[in-house]
Structures are given as C-alpha cells and as structure tokens.
Amino acid sequence: MGRSLVLPGNRWRSLVLPGASWCAVASANTLAQVAPKAPGDARYEGCSQPNVHKNPSIRIHLYCRVIDHLGDVGASLRLARDLARLGYRLRLYCDRPDLAHALNDEQGEAPDGPEPFPAQHASASPDLPAGACMHPVVEICAWPCETDVQEAVDAPAHLIISAFGCELPAQVRASLAPPSPARSEGEASGESGDTSPPLWIHLDYLSAEAWVGGFHGRPSIKPDGARQIFVFPGFDAQSAGLPGTPPEHGPGADHEASQSLDPAPSGARKMSEARPLSIFAYAYAHAHLGSWSASIARAFRGQGHTGAAAHPTAILTIPAAHEHQWPSLKAWLATESLGLNLLAQCPQMLWDERLAASDLLLVRGEDSWVFAMRSGVPWLWQPYPQEPLTLQRKLAALLGRMEDCLGELPGWNAWKIALLAWGQAQMPPDDALEVLMQQWPRSAWHRLARQWALKCNAAQSLADGLALWIPGQRAAPAGARMSHHAQPL
Amino acid sequence: MKIAQEIRTGNVIMISKEPMVVLRSEYNKSGRNAAVVKMKLKNLLNNSGTETVFKADEKMDVLVLDRKEVTYSYFADPMYVFMDEEFNQYEVESESMGDALHYLDDGMPCEVVFYNGRAISVELPTGLVREVAYTEPAVRGDTSGKVLKPARIKPTGFEVQVPAFVEIGDRIEIDTRTGEYRNRVK
C-alpha cells in the first residue's frame, strides 16, 4: 500500500527517507508549533519538538471515494489537515491516491524556511521504516484492496469517517459491528482487550438548507448492529460547522488589522489602470462563461478601468483541464479584449493562493465555494447540477441565510440576482453586474463579500465541531445524539 | 427488502432485530444527487421512540403486515377512526398518525396497518392532490430573487413550498413522502 505523510500547515517540505517506501512531507515552518512528542510512543522518540499534540491518542481514518473531479478528495484532504492541525492522527484512504498526492503540497513550490525536519533525529519504531519520524500528519493511503485490507482493519482507529457517505471496504465495514455476546463476555472476564468498534461517521455534503439541523448528529443503526452518526456541515449551530478554516489573510483572521467594515476591504486588491481584472472560474460546463466574463469586463470598463494599451481589460483563469468544456472560449474572449489563462493542476495550497489573489471568484461545488466564502473576495457560486427544484432550494436556502446577514446593506439585491443567475447557469444580468462593479475595488460587492466572510469565519469550523464532539461520544451511551452536550434522544 | 427512500409512514422495519413502525419519514437531497432520509420510529416491543437517519439507498428489512383499505371517518380524541367498506372501524392513536395528519381529509382513502391484530399506523398514497388555500400572489417584474414561496393547502393548512406561479385555488400534487410540491394539476 503506497503511503505518504502530509503535515498540516501552509508550508511543506518533502522528506524522502532513504531505503524506505515512505515519503514524509514536513512543514518546515510549522514543525515547531505543531510537532508532537507523544509520551510513550516510540515513533516520537528523538523528535526534539514541543509537545503540543492535544489528542495524540486519537486516530482517525478518513475514507474518500472520488466520484468525479477533485472536489471529493480536495474536501477530504482539507478536513484531514484541519483535524491533524488539532492534533489528531489522520490517515486518508482514497481510491485515487494519485489525486490526493497531486493535491497535497509535496509537489508545491519550494517554500522559504528552515531545512526539512532531519531524518537522523528519528528513531526506529515497530511499524515504521528505520529513520521515520511521525508528526501529526495526514497519512495518504491507497484504498485497501483484497491483499492489504486486513492492515486497514487491524490499524487502530478511534474514529472512522465515510466522506460524503462513501461505502467502506467490506472488511472494514464488517469490523464496525458490535462484538458478539461471546466476545463481550470474554472482555468482561478480562480475557481480551478493548474490542469495542470505533466511532463511525457519515460525513455529508455542505448545505444551507434548514433541514440539515434536524438531520445532523442523528444515529443510524445498521442491520448488523453497527452504529453510524450522520454529520452534516452547515452554517449554523445546529450543524457540525463550516468546512475549512479562515484563510491566513482573510477577513476575521487573527492578524487582520481591522474587524470593521473597512471602505477598502481586505478582499479588494488594489487596481491600477494598467492591471486587468483577474477573474477565476471553476465552473460546470453549462455555465455561460464567455458571456459572464464579457459582461463583468464591460461593467468593469464602465467604471473607468480601461486598461493599458495592448493589454486585456480582464483575464479569465480556468483550470487547464476544463479548457475542452468551452472550446471556442479563447477566441471569443479575444474579440472582447479579454485574456484567458489556463491553470495546470496544482497542489491545494497553490490553488488556494490563486483564488485568494484573484479579484473575482466564479466557483462551484463545495471546497472552492467554502474557500471563496471565507476569503472575502467577491464570488458567485454554482451548485452541483441537479434537478431544477432541488438546485433552486439549495440556492434559496443560501440566499436566505445571506439575506439575514446582508439584507440591509447596499448592493445585496444585485448580488442576489447575480447569484441566482450564475447558480442556475443563466445568462449574466448586466444591470446587477453594473451595480456590483461600481467603484471597484471599493465596491459594495467587496463590502458584502467581506461581511459574509466575517460571519463564516467567526462560525465554528467542521473540524472544531468534530473535536468538541469526539471526547463526549467516546463515553456516550448508544443512541445519544451528536451534540456538544450529547443529549439522549 | 426496500430502500430507505421507499419506506413510508406506517411501514414496519426491523432494526437490530426489533420491529419499528415508521411514524414519520423525511426525505432530503443532500448533494450531488445523494439523498438522506430521517425517520421517526416507534419500537413495537417497548413503545420507545427514536429518530434516525439513513442514506436514501440503504436497504431495509420491511415486515409484511396485514393492511386494509379504509377511508378516514372522524377524530375521537386521541384516536383517529377509519372505516373499511364493510363499515368496520379501526382506531389509530394520534401519535402514530405521523405525516398523515398534514393531508387528512374527510373520506380520504388510505391503508391501516396492523401488527399483532392492533392498528398501528396509516399509510398514504405517494401522491395526493390538494387545493391551495392561500399563497402570496406572484408579482410581475419581481426581482427579489425568490424561487419558491409557501402555500397553505386545504383542509389542514399544512404549508408546502411551491413555485412562484402557483395561485390560490390551484390544485397541486404533493409527494407525501417528502412534503414537496410535484406539479400543478389542471
């Protein structure tokens, strides 16, 4: 089973251990803050790092199956990192480990900072190659196959997460059934150790709909007696919290200078006459991307941003892998004096940086949507294509929550109209876009995006929600509903 | 075996070898065409209640129970009384009526489900047509961005989310499993 280790944090270093199949990726800048020295764990001996591992004894296995694109594995990897940052030991099983590796920062640009964590400081351990030194990392593993599934079953885990409700490998699933009465009697008489199965979570998709609160935290008893808890990310205290964490320089970040509604919000990059507007689009194929780009650029030009001679007014960046979705896009944009930039597949860290550095985000799905909401950069969101009524309900639920927060602010109606149109793959609403682009980059859109980001970033994150819940659940009786107060039903 | 989204109020499913009657079933689409179902269940052995969630495509062991086609007659607090074509009356406790209360109407056809000779629940047709008692009128040129609006149906006043074009007096078909609008009936 191919595995690599990924440290949480924003700066990564590859650490290839000689003579071993392990590849540890160490965050040189963050090691000092997060690296543990777990008492009694031989693998941590020799790691001269401060002991800040808050949950060193809790191991989490996160299972992820890729349905399409990179959203599943991207969201799973992000959650895994967030949990690892809280000190849990994370293992990510993925049926497309190649994608997980591509998204991890191992292949990112070499960051500044001290040298990688020295392998020579590591000591031998029972199940790691000589020289390996583990930290609170995400260990990426290939989806267990017949020949190695027993290793996944035997690997101790306190919590198993089925990301987006994926089916577990059959043997792993079977191991979640409660012990038979005979085994339980053996335990009672002290004949064996703790054989209770790990906690098992069904992690669902993010939705703003109100029903999420009523579903979140409910148990599900399977025919073999296995107990699963349904966890729903969401936007309020009745849910498990919002995925991700506030971006490093995003609204509400600790170091941000002002928490107020600054007239020049942090999401607004300074514009000069020469600099084209930077639009980042991660969209489904049925989006009218060319028309939207042109309308946005027209509204931008209408604010006096004419651009320098021979330079495009705006540059649209899309993933290179999406170019085939709009085969004539480049030529069409050229007729509108717009440029097209293709972004090659890159690690998640660089993806995030690219989004954060854009002037406007046209995003889809979940992972990029959450990042956009947290960033404070003006954004529009396209839900996963579904039957029209379902899609409209999801959009309406989001708009309802945003209206509660933003409804009194200038420009909200225009943003709402644009969200509805983009979200339903309609043609661009020129009037609304003109309102939104007024006084760019000190626009109402920036203020609205920043205010919403402040709300999102102040809310409990999914990882924090899980971290608050796990200790109580480990001691909770069967049937207890997931909540921070573990109320019985 | 049925999948969870096919389970209806009144079905009895086996969970951990115990028969549980479904008092309420709520279906929602979560994301990427995945769906989940929350069920309010009552244990038929000890009368304890619980709420639980399943993936919509999870397979469930459904007990095949006796059932009779009946029509709703009247309410005799706390029992709802149904009658079959031979004028036999069957009483169902109000707490076992589940979502049927949202759509109850005099003479409404449905099925009463029996367990050990006891009427334990009521099953509704999957789709029911009801008249809209009240909904806000659609405003021409409305740019508020609302895509759905609430509508109260006759005779219970239960609220259903409907598209903006639905008006008072329209007859709409409702999916009784989800409580969602299906279409307008001419």
As a whole number of Å, the end-to-end CA separation of chain A is 41
In DSSP terms, B121 is beta-bridged to B113
| CATH 3.40.50 given to domain A3-38+53-181+194-243+461-480 | yes
How many angstroms from the chain centroid is the CA of residue B171? Answer: 18
Q: What is the pLDDT of residue A179?
A: 80
Inform me whether the pLDDT recorded for A133 exceeds 60: no
pLDDT of amino acid A47: 31
Look at A32-36, A165-169, A195-199 and tell me which has the smallest mean pLDDT. Answer: A32-36
Both tokens of residue B103?
């759509």
Interface test with A, best of B1, B147, B165, B184 (most A CBs within 10 A): B147
Pairing of strands A277-281, A314-319: parallel
Beta-strand relationship, B148-153 and B18-31: unpaired
Question: What CATH architecture applies to the domain B127-185?
Answer: Beta Barrel (2.40)
3-state SS string over A142-162? ECCCCCCHHHHHHCCCCEEEE
How sure is the predictor about A478, in pLDDT bands with cuts at 50, 70 and 90?
A: very low
Chain B closest-CA separation from residue A194 CA (Å): 22
Model confidence band, residue A310 (pLDDT cutoffs 50, 70, 90): low
* Secondary element (H or E) of residue A445: helix A444-458
Q: Please report residues of B whose CB lies closer than 8 A to that of A396.
A: 146-148
A467 three-state secondary structure = helix
What's the rounded mean pLDDT across residues B38-62? 92
Residue predicted with more confidence, A360 or A53: A360
Quick one: pLDDT band at residue B145, thresholds 50, 70, 90? low
Considering only residues A318 and A386, tell me which one the structure prediction assigns the higher pLDDT.
Answer: A318
For residue A358, give the 3-state DSSP assignment: coil
Q: How far apart are CA A232 and CA A203, in angstroms?
A: 6
Which pLDDT band, with edges at 50, 70 and 90, does A242 fall under? very high
Q: Supply the CATH classification number for the domain B2-63.
A: 2.30.30.30
Confidence band for A70, pLDDT divided at 50, 70 and 90? confident
Give the rounded distance of the alpha carbon of A443 from its chain centre.
28
Collapsing DSSP to helix, strand or coil, A273 comes out as coil
Residues ≥6 apart with Cβ < 8 Å to B81: B72, B73, B74, B75, B89, B90, B91
CATH T-level fold of A255-458: Rossmann fold (3.40.50)
Give the mean pLDDT of A313-319.
Answer: 93
CA atoms within 13 A on the CB side of A383: 30
Q: Where are the beta strands (DSSP E) in A282-330?
A: 314-319
Range among A242-251, A419-428, B111-120 with highest mean pLDDT value: A419-428
Separation CA B5–CA B58 (nearest Å): 8
Mutation target among A64, A215, A227, A403 for the B interface, most CBs of B within 10 A: A215
Selected residue of B53, B55, B161, B181 to mutate for chain A interface (largest A Cβ count, 10 A): B53
Domain boundaries of chain B, sorted by first residue: 2-63, 66-123, 127-185
**DSSP structure class, residue A112:** S
B48, pLDDT greater than 70: yes
Q: Where are the domains of chain A?
A: 3-38+53-181+194-243+461-480, 255-458
| Alpha-carbon distance A48 to nearest alpha carbon in chain B (angstroms) | 45
Number of inter-chain CB pairs under 8 A, A vs B: 85
Tell me what pLDDT residue A79 has.
96
Task: Inspect the interface and report whether the beta carbons of B32 and A67 lie closer than 8 Å.
Answer: yes
Measured CB to CB, residues of chain A less than 8 Å from chain B are 67, 164-165, 202, 204-207, 209, 211, 214-215, 218-221, 223, 225, 230, 232, 366, 384, 386, 389-390, 392-393, 395-396, 399, 413, 416-417, 419-420, 479, 489
Q: Which whole number is the average pLDDT over A344-369? A: 93
pLDDT higher for B141 or A479? Answer: B141
Entry field: residues in chain A: 489
Spatial distance between the Cα atoms of A64 and A51, rounded to a whole number of angstroms: 30
- Maximum alpha-carbon separation in chain B: 59
Please name the residue that has the structure tokens 């860290």.
A349
**Sorting pLDDT into bands at 50, 70 and 90, what band is A52?**
very low
Closest Cα partner for A330 from A318, A339, A321?
A339
Q: Which helix (H) or strand (E) holds A337?
A: none
Banded model confidence at residue A415, pLDDT cuts 50, 70, 90: very high
> Is the Cβ pair A220, B29 closer than 8 Å?
no
Tokens in use for B15? 């969970």
Task: Say yes or no for a CB contact (<8 Å) between A219 and B33.
Answer: no
Nearest CA in chain B to A400: B146
Nearest CA in chain A to B33: A386
Average pLDDT score over residue span A158-183: 88
* Residue A266: per-residue pLDDT: 52
pLDDT on residue A258: 46
Cβ-contact B8, B124 below 8 angstroms: yes
B110 contacts B123 by C-beta, under 8 angstroms: yes
Neighbours of A89 (CB within 10 A): 26
Confidence (pLDDT) at A224: 86
Residue A124 CA to residue A173 CA, distance in Å, equals: 32
Q: Do A223 and B15 touch (CB under 8 A)?
A: yes
- Cis, peptide link before residue A441, omega less than 30° from 0: yes
B21 vs B67: CA distance, rounded Å:
14
End-to-end Cα distance, chain B: 36
pLDDT at A151 over 80: yes
B132 vs A194, residue with greater confidence: B132
> pLDDT tens across B4-34, in order?
999 988 889 998 888 999 988 899 998 887 8
Phi-psi region of B40 (alpha: psi -120 to 50; beta: other; left: phi over 0): beta
List of residues 6+ apart from A443 with CB closer than 8 A: A268, A378, A411, A436, A437
Confidence check: pLDDT of A182 > 80: no
What is the crossing angle of helices A444-458 and A388-406, to 10°?
Answer: 90
CB neighbours (10 Å) of residue A11?
20
Tell me the sheet residues that pair with B36: B28, B55
Mean pLDDT for the stretch of residues A315-326: 93
CATH H-level superfamily of B66-123: Nucleic acid-binding proteins (2.40.50.140)
Answer whether B66-123 and B127-185 agree in fold: yes
- How confident is the prediction for chain A on average, in pLDDT? 77
Query: Could you tell me if the ipTM is greater than 0.90?
Result: no
